[in-house]
Every structure is written in structure tokens, then in C-alpha cells.
Amino acid sequence: MEPTTTQSNQEEFDLQPDPRILPMLGEINLPQWRCVAELVDNSIDSFMSATRAGSPTDRPEVYVSLPTHDDERAKLTIRDNGPGMDAGTLERAVRAGWTGNDPIGSLGLFGMGFNIATARLGAVTRVWTTKAGESEWRGLEIDFDRLVRQRHFRTPRLTRSKLDPHEHGTEVSIERLKPDQRQWLAKASNRTAIVKDLTRAYSAMLRPSGASISFSLQVNGNLVPRRDPCIWDDDRAVNLPRHGTVGAVQAIDVHLADRLFCTTCWQWLAVAETACPSCGLTDHVVKRERRIHGWLGVQRFLSSTQFGIDFIRNGRKIEMENKDLFYWVPDSGPAEPEYPIDDPRNRGRLTGEIHIDHCRVTYTKDRFERSDPAWDEMVRVVRGDGPLRPDKASELGFPPNTSPLYLLFQAFRRSSPKTKVAGCYAKLLLVPENDRAEEMAKQFYDGAPDYQDDSKWWELVEEADRQLLYGPSAGKPTSPVPPEQESGTGAIEPEQPPPAQSRISIPSLSREYRDDLSALRWDVVAFEAAERDPDLGTAPWSLKRVPSGTYEYLVNVRHPTFRSVTLTPLDALLAQLAWAGMDFMRGTRHPTTTFADMLVSLRERYAQTNELDAVDLAGEADLALSGLANSLENRLSPDDARSLFEELPTSEKDAILHKMATRSVKDPQRVISDGRFLAFAPGKQLLRFFQSHPEVFFDGLYWDDAYADLNYGTEAATAEARSQIVGHYSALLSDAIWLAEQEPADLAEASRERLLRAAMALELLRPSSQSELAK
């Protein structure tokens, strides 16, 4: 039996926290940029509060001053031109645990955020604020050491004179910085890192039409630039047989049903509830909007780190480049990665910005609460129910998925074409040379005007597809097509070579080249030229400087010298640049630099894509084998598929069923009927199946080569021809299996000739049937 509880009116316990609690908040490990962001958030809240009150701030601005030297007098200051605060609001604004902000429409969450940030950086904080028309600034000082000594929280009210009565805003100054913080902030690289993080965190609000509000941010007198996403333009799209037109940018704007919310406890009420489950009251329960909006898109380059989704609350990015939605989380068992699983180096390019203002975040504002049902609602809207992989979703019995992330995954999941035929790069919106795509992305982020839209990337895509269609001389003609007809805009372009020269631009070779040894740079514009070109003559290539200051590289790609597998137009250009660099360096203070040194330096920077990369080859081998294994899906009748499975030896059937069990396939018989059982077979078993049933892969089913249609007049001759084609593809499959099964260390020791053979096998194994290419 529990004891009876009674309440005495004669005495109460004083639960006011000890003043030592404030400096202890500084032990919370909040990164420096997040400390600054906490204080910037307060300024943004003041701007939004003024807007809601009908008196928006004209050109809202926030100024951050970071110390540049390790000096005891150093301080960190954040100042804004917001409306300012009265004395009562100022007193409450810095009180630990208090917030007067709208818990949904503001960035500030708890008064704790201000105290954690300031205590993390220094021992003394001064806050000054004033409103327009007032004659002075009012302020207060939080000295943690003094508060501990005096054992109470009271601090005197301060004032200072004000020269301009129209001035308004708030200034927070953190002084007596901790020694470790002073040392960290004194390093220029660390201050640069803070600016970079602030750029990313507030990018949605630093744009002219910013989310929630637009404002400008300065750090040490320099304007913090906005960081726009380097994605393919929203008019780019591809057509998929099963999903129709899929745009490279997927807009999201979903309004969920309004829900009741307690503004005191900061808690959402269940659908049937009318009173807050925490406080039991209805006084502060209001109806709130719930909206999920933003976009998903495809970057113009691949990256092992720089991709993922930014999750935003009231304009501030809480989580950046998050990859949680690229995992399938089953009811039991570990999360399964789904993207990027098709790239051997785990490079991805799907990205986006999702606003979920109604979802709770942690008190450090670095993560959304995964326990909040609002997070699960967002996941269903953005990626749908079930796995992104259609075969896995089918195995588990999930209905068709039409979510934005699912559509982008189906259209752009691959980092290399399934088969290299004309149009394959445009279908994937993929630049063949990713190093070049990344280099151009740096130009985009630096604000170079020519790189703000995706036309430079698209030129490389078109060039690659034209070369697949017409061969190496498939560039873009610079003549005789008039510029106004070429662009369709009527714009006047620079004078082009005369029509007789039939020069063709080569975007993949047109770029700036730099050499570290000589510190030279060449802005090269490359053209494919005919043998009769007067500036080329009988030479295979030439490089010369033109009056504009650029270098014109002319190359006859049909010259016999380029029939060699060891010399390409890029090799020729780099050799020519190395020779030009050596010519420049004669007589300089680098007598030991050789032609070989310079050529190797240039090749290391600009010819990486021509190297035989064992890791990439192994990944491509996995994709080649899985593509062949999955090619039977929905191409056979259920009876034929089951018959082919039953023909397998018992040991091989058992191995496939065991693999299905380890992957939690709920309906293995359906997988078998769909013809997907080979996806669970090891490589050598796949090879044996191919050798036993070549008829299900040839004659336009996976490869266009004839097999059943072969007829040499006699049965023996036809059988011999069929045996030869099966033997040819068996050898190619054996090379792919060898690649897929090797350990990285073993591949690193493989000979160049062995890797070349395996690389050619992968090229020859690519599907050629039109039905496969359409998938």
C-alpha cells in the first residue's frame, strides 16, 4: 500500500537552479559553427517576428565578427538590424529554459540554446538591444564566474548612449573567450570552415526568394554567399517504359491534415485528443499546419560524400547531405543500403531539400527527432513504402511505388550506362568523365557565369553520345551552320572558322589546363579538323595561340597514328603541352625538370579516366553479371520459368533457395515464376545455366547475336556455329566472374594485360537487344 501524499502550505521547496548550471552548459560539445548559428537564429527569429507583426525589417542583415588572433581581449560578436527588444523581453530571452518564440514558426527552441552557445565559447556575455526611436541602448551582462560567486542569477541593467535615434537591433558579444576557443578561432582555416558551414546551413534563406525569410549574412566584413545546388536543370527529363517521363527535378508539396498542438509542452496531440497529454490542459492547444515541401534532384557530377538530402526547419538546414532515406529499414534486421549500390566507389548524385517545419528537432538542433511520427510521415511522402529496389519490393509484396525518390532512383541510379550505345549518356544525364564534371562544379560554386546552367555538362553528354553513334569524328560542327540557327536565339557568336575547314568542336578537350611544375596554364579550345585544313596540313595535330589569348588545338582524329590503342587525341594534347612547358622552362631555375616529369604531372591531373582501375572494373563486373541474371524477369511464362528452375541440379536449387532465405524473400515461388531465381545464383552457376540454355539470351532477347536462327545448311555446321558463339560468350562471362570474385589486393597485383582483357570482356558483354536497352 502506497503512503498518503499531503501538501503543506507553510513551506515550499525552492527549485531554482544553482548558478553553476550555466557554465556547465558549456561542456556540451557543440561545434563552433553551431554556436554561432544559435545566435544568428535569434536574429532571424526577430526578423520573422517583426514580419508577422506587420512591420518587416527593411533589408534584414546579420553581422558576425570572429576573432583573428589568440588574444585575451579577443571577443566574438553577432549584431543584427532587427526590431530590438524591450527590457522585459531582454530579461526573459537569456533565461535558461525560457522561450517566448512561436515553437513552430521560429528557429529558436529553448532559452537553453543561447546559454549553451555562449557558455561553450566564453565566460562573459553582453547583450545590447534598442528599438527605433529610443534614446539609448539597454543591456545586461552574464558573467558566469560572478554568478557562481554571488550564488544568484540577478545582474544589473546596463545602458549606453545612442547616437542615431533611428538605429535598432540587437548585439551579442562573447568575451573572455576560453583559451582553447581562442586558439581554434585564431586559425584562418577554422574561420573559413565556419563560413562554409554557415553558407550551407542558411543557403535556403540567403537566396533572393528565401524560405521563411531572406536575409544577408556577413562574417568579418565579407558577405557570405549563398550555395545553390549544382543540379541538372528542371527541364531535363528521361522516358522510362514503366514510369513514363521522369524529370531530373521532382517538386514536392504535400499538405497533411492539420493537427492540434500544445504550445506550452511543444507536443502534438493524437487525432482523437483535445487536451494535451502532458499537461492535461486545453488553454494552449492550437491547430497547426503540417506541410512537407521542397524538391529532389540529380547533381551534374558524382561524389562519394557530396550528395544526399538536406532537411530544413523554418529555413535553417538541420541535417545536410543526409543519406538515411537511401536505406531500406525492414521490420526486423539491419538497414539495407539501396543507393548508391550500382557504383563501385559508392559515389552518388541524388540530392534535395525537404522542409519539415512541423517535425521536432533535438535541443542542439543538429538532428530531427526520429521518434516523432512526423518524421515517418515525411519518409512515406518522399520515398514511399517498401524498398526502392523493385525486385526487393516485389519479393516482399509491396504495392507499386510512385514516390519522388523512387522515380529518381529508377531513372538515375546508375553511374555508368548499362550498355554504351548512342543516347545512353543522355538517358542517364551522365557526364562520361566525372573528374571533368566535378571540376566544372567548382566553377559553378565559385559563381562563374558560364557554368550556372547545365549547358556545359550537356555538351559533354551530347559529344559522348554522338561518338557512340558516328564514331570519334562526331563532335559538334562549328560550321557551316550559322550560329543563330545553331542556338535558336539569334545571338551573335564569335567568328567561326570558314566552312571549307569543316571543324568540329570537341567539348571534352576544351578546358583550362594547368601545370604545377612550370606554373603555366593554357585555356584550350579543341577542334576536330579535316586533313585539308590549311592550319593543320599533314600533321596529326597542332597547338597554337590565337589573338584572343586562348590556345587552339586542331586534331585529325582519322590520322593513322590514332589507330594505336596507346595514343589518343588527349594523349597528343598533353604531350604537346608538356613540350610547350619545357620550351618555356629552358633557362629558368628548374634545370632538373624533364619532359617526362611534366608529361607525368599533366597525365596525373587530366588523364585519370584512361587508367585501368581494378575497383571500378570489379564493380562493373558485378553489374554485368546481375544484369544478365535479371534479364529473364517477366520474359518467360511462369511455367517455363519454373521448368528451367527444376532442371537445375538439386545442390544448385538448394543454394538458390538458401540465398533467398538469407535475404528474407517472403514468396520464393513467385520469384521463381517471375524468372528472377538466377539473381540468387553465384557466378559460376550462372555460367553453367547460360551454357545449358543459350537460347534464352540470344536472337534479340539479351544479345542480338543469332543462335536459334542460325542455319548453315547442315545440322553439323549449324551446331558448330552455335558452339562457337556459346564458347565466345562463355569466355567473356568467365572473365567477368574472375573480376567479380577477386579480392581488391589480388586485383592490384593483376597484370595490365589481364585487366585489359577483362575490361574488353565487360564491353562485349553489354546487352545489345532493343528490349534490354529500353529498360
CATH class of the domain at 21-223: alpha beta
Domain ranges within the chain, ordered by starting residue: 21-223, 237-412, 472-488+495-582, 614-773
Which residues touch 161 (CB under 8 Å, ≥6 apart)?
Answer: 136, 137
What's the Cα-to-Cα distance from 102 to each of 106, 516, 718, rounded to whole Å?
6, 55, 81
348-355 and 308-313 beta bridge pairing: parallel
511-515 and 504-505 beta bridge pairing: unpaired
Cell of 134: 529610443
169-177 and 216-219 beta bridge pairing: unpaired
Cα separation, 476 vs 479, whole angstroms: 9
What's the Cα-to-Cα distance from 249 to each of 110, 326, 427, rounded to whole Å?
36, 17, 15
Which residues touch 166 (CB under 8 Å, ≥6 apart)?
Answer: 132, 133
What's the Cα-to-Cα distance from 663 to each of 373, 394, 642, 680, rounded to whole Å?
28, 13, 20, 9
Model pLDDT, residue 258 = 85
Cα separation, 712 vs 707, whole angstroms: 11
* Structural element, H or E, at residue 298: strand 285-303
Cell of 524: 584550350
Specify whether the CB–CB gap between 628 and 686 falls below 8 A: yes
Model pLDDT, residue 31 = 92
Model pLDDT, residue 773 = 55
Structure confidence by residue, pLDDT tens digits, 599-653? 999 998 888 766 777 777 888 888 889 888 888 887 888 899 899 999 999 999 8
Which regions of the chain are under pLDDT 70?
Answer: 1-19, 22, 26, 96-112, 471-501, 587-591, 609-610, 769-775
Cα separation, 536 vs 711, whole angstroms: 51
Model pLDDT, residue 636 = 85
Sequence letter at residue 650: T
Specify whether the CB–CB gap between 614 and 747 falls below 8 A: yes
Specify whether the CB–CB gap between 111 and 98 falls below 8 A: yes
Dihedral sign for Cα 158, 162, 167, 172, please. negative
> Which pairs with CB-CB distance under 8 Å and at least 24 residues apart come from 442-448?
444/230, 444/300, 445/227, 445/230, 447/225
CATH architecture of 237-412: 2-Layer Sandwich (3.30)
Model pLDDT, residue 106 = 61
- Write the DSSP assignment of 192-249 as a string of letters: HHHHHHHHHHTHHHHSTT-SS---EEEETTEEPPP----B--TT-EEEETTTEEEESE
Looking at the DSSP bridge assignments, the partners of residue 368 are 361
* DSSP type of residue 4: P
Model pLDDT, residue 553 = 95
Neighbours of 649 (CB within 10 A): 10
